[in-house]
Amino acid sequence: MPAYKELDDIFNSIVRREISRFNKEVYKLEREFFSTPLLDFYSCDDHYDCVIDVPYMDPTSIYMKVEGDVMKLRCKDKMGNVYQTQIQLPRDADLDNLKVERIKWFLRIRISRRPST
């Protein structure tokens, strides 16, 4: 095996280890910087309800993204405090039928269930 191949493997190993360490530090900082909102997740016969409580929520700051079976949510209150959370969605959640509504300082996300086969 050529010497440069061994050096390349060593270099790649060091880079991967440092990237992993960096990602862990970023995660820790995000956990310290952002607060997690209060939330409840309810399972009903034909849908799921996720109710999130952020007092004095600024409705213009709501950011929601679904990646695979994880829903990521971030928002701010009117004092500028940032809240974020991730919610693991059930397998039968129908992400094409998702409804979001704000009721006072609550955010309700209703997700239809796929019919069982």
Describe the strand order of the beta sheet including 93-103 as a list of residue ranges: 38-43, 47-53, 106-113, 93-103
Pairing of strands 38-43, 70-76: unpaired
Positive or negative: CA dihedral 47, 53, 58, 64: negative
The answer to whether the predicted template modeling score (pTM) of the entire model surpasses 0.85 is no
Q: Which of 76, 87, 82 is nearest to 109 (CA)?
A: 87
Using one digit for the tens of pLDDT, what is the confidence trace for 40-71? 999 999 999 999 998 888 889 999 999 989 99
Residue pLDDT, tens place only, 79-96: 888 889 999 999 999 988
Q: What is the dihedral of CA 112, 100, 26, 69, to 10 degrees?
A: 10
